[in-house]
Amino acid sequence: MDALQIEKLTKIYGSGDTEVVALSDATFDVAPGELVAILGPSGSGKTTLLTTIGLVTEPTRGRVVLDGELIVDHGWPAGLDLKRVRREKLGFIFQAHNLIPFLTTVENVMIALENNGVAAKEARERSVELLRSLGLGHRLDHYPALLSGGESQRTAIARALANRPRVILADEPTAALDTENGKNVMRLLKKLAVENHSAILVVTHDQRMVEGFDRIFEVSDGRIVNERRNGISADA
Ligand SMILES: Nc1ncnc2c1ncn2[C@@H]1O[C@H](COP(=O)(O)OP(=O)(O)OP(=O)(O)O)[C@@H](O)[C@H]1O
Ligand SMILES: [Mg+2]
């Protein structure tokens, strides 16, 4: 089963003279463990694609099936528990600095598990293990203000992955990092996607970050205008 099936997903903001078609008829499937990069200029609709899939922005039209569950059918289906789906099946990674400042590194990860009903003791054990695997074993009890940009972002990744979501949505996760740290974060995402069989959609401005991705979508004016498999060059 696909992790994600998207059909004619469309988002129109406003109406009449102020209407903006932010996303138009996006159609694609993503398999478990697959990494998809989304490239495109500012304002092209990349974030809208993630937030409509992520149940943050209600789409205008289209369908989304997440892990076999219909989560978008034109708009949001009546009775769909958006919070439950977000909590159980989705992981979000945005630019750094979205950690909770008054919680330590390990507590920032634990909270994601506890919100999903995992008891504190187990939540701590799993969080510690995950953070160690991300090279943060020496930062468990630090507060976010004391972490480097790369460390903050790895903590945010640990938090997004803690519940082993089917689909991970990352919006410019490397934007605040230098090239080297950015590449490390991307490598890590890939490793975890494969291990957890999670599908990952990553928005980036930066062509250099997409090595190792399975597929690359280019977005322009709300449309996916080009799709290619990595290693197969579209330009010839
Ligand atoms: N809440 C909103 N209300 C009205 N228009 C919006 C809203 N959010 C986004 N838009 C518009 O939708 C279009 C797509 O925006 P979006 O944020 O998805 O672009 P983006 O590709 O993520 O850009 P960037 O690279 O700058 O983050 C833009 O024209 C934007 O102005
Ligand atoms: Mg954006």
Examine residue 98 and state whether it is found in any structural domain, yes or no. Answer: yes
In whole angstroms, give the CA distance from residue 217 to residue 28.
10
Query: Tell me: the pLDDT tens digits for 54-63?
Result: 999 999 999 9
CATH number, residue 42: 3.40.50.300
Ligand 1, atom 28, residue with closest C-alpha: 43
Q: pLDDT band at 232, cuts 50/70/90? A: low
Examine residue 235 and state whether it is found in any structural domain, yes or no. Answer: no
Query: Tell me: the pLDDT tens digits for 149-194?
Result: 889 988 998 998 899 899 999 999 888 778 887 888 888 888 888 8
42 lines ligand 1 (CB under 6 A): yes
In whole angstroms, give the CA distance from residue 77 to residue 45.
23
User: 229 exposed, middle or buried (CB, 10 Å; 0-12, 13-18, 19+)?
Assistant: exposed
Give me the domain span that covers residue 139: 4-229
pTM (2 decimals)?
0.90
Q: Which of 48, 52, 201, 219 is the pocket-test mutation for ligand 1 (most atoms within 8 Å of CB)?
A: 48
Q: Which listed ligand is nearest to 44 at the C-alpha?
A: 1
Ligand 1, atom 2, residue with closest C-alpha: 13
Count of the separate structural domains present in the chain: 1
Note the pLDDT of residue 191.
84
47 lines ligand 1 (CB under 6 A): yes
Q: Are 27 and 217 in contact (CB under 8 A)?
A: no
Examine residue 164 and state whether it is found in any structural domain, yes or no. Answer: yes
Note the pLDDT of residue 236.
38
- Per-residue pLDDT averaged across 198-219, rounded? 89
Over its C-alpha atoms, the chain yields an Rg (Å, rounded) of 18
User: 169 exposed, middle or buried (CB, 10 Å; 0-12, 13-18, 19+)?
Assistant: buried
Ligand 1, atom 10, residue with closest C-alpha: 22
Examine residue 234 and state whether it is found in any structural domain, yes or no. Answer: no
Note the pLDDT of residue 187.
84
Examine residue 189 and state whether it is found in any structural domain, yes or no. Answer: yes
